[in-house]
Structure 1
């Protein structure tokens, strides 16, 4: 297992040899939601508690929780690559968005995380 998953949130798994401690943070959100544990089981429990605490705090304060990996992001690429991709998308009678999504899908299926 490379990541922790809970209620739509994904968490990293890291190890600190200096502290002999596992730790991580929730990925795909701007705010820092971190957790730690001495064992994998403790790490997973603290991860779930951190997510639950975050969601409870959002509910108490009346703010919407951040949704990780919303499905939209900005990509900066060289102008020449942008041009080539846009022309290939037009030739394929598809949008640039669909063209890029298909390229990413191909790469993700080839080498899943």
Structure 2
């Protein structure tokens, strides 16, 4: 966890991290899955270990009950935009010699760093 980030990643899973000032602990929850998987610790090193353990426990529990673990994201994104934005994006993609999909994927990659 960097000083500028409030997320951690492990084995393709991401966790949202918050600080609970009342209890003086860091609290994390796996993001992007329907199951509620949380963990906590008093310092960053222990928090990272608790996060890794939470992911491993989630995967083991899924295996025990015969459930396919939910992957955080499939890579397929569908969303609606204003028709004028669509036109400008399609034009920008064509002018750059790319498909709209390739162009949008690069723009999203740059925007999310």
What is the aligned partner in structure 1 of residue 54 from structure 2? Answer: 50
1:14 aligns with 2:18: yes
What is the aligned partner in structure 1 of residue 36 from structure 2? Answer: 32
Q: What is the count of residue pairs matched by the alignment?
A: 109
State which of 92, 104, 110 in structure 1 corresponds to 2:108: 104
Equivalent position SS for 2:75: coil
Equivalent position SS for 1:13: strand
Q: Once the 2 structures are TM-superposed, how far is the Cα of residue 45 of structure 1 from its aligned partner?
A: 2.0
What is the aligned partner in structure 1 of residue 74 from structure 2? Answer: 70
Q: TM-score, normalised by structure 2?
A: 0.81
Q: TM-score, normalised by structure 1?
A: 0.81
Q: Return the alpha-carbon distance in structure 2 between the equivalents of residues 93 and 42 of structure 1.
A: 48
Stretches of structure 1 that go unaligned for 5 or more consecutive residues are none
Root mean square deviation, CA, Å: 1.9
Q: Deviations over 1:60-109 (max 9, x none)?
A: 1112111123222223322210122123323444221111012123334x
> Which segment is superposed worse, 84-93 or 46-55?
84-93
Q: Residues 69-88 of structure 1: matches in 2 within 5 Å? A: 69-88=73-92
Equivalent position SS for 1:105: helix
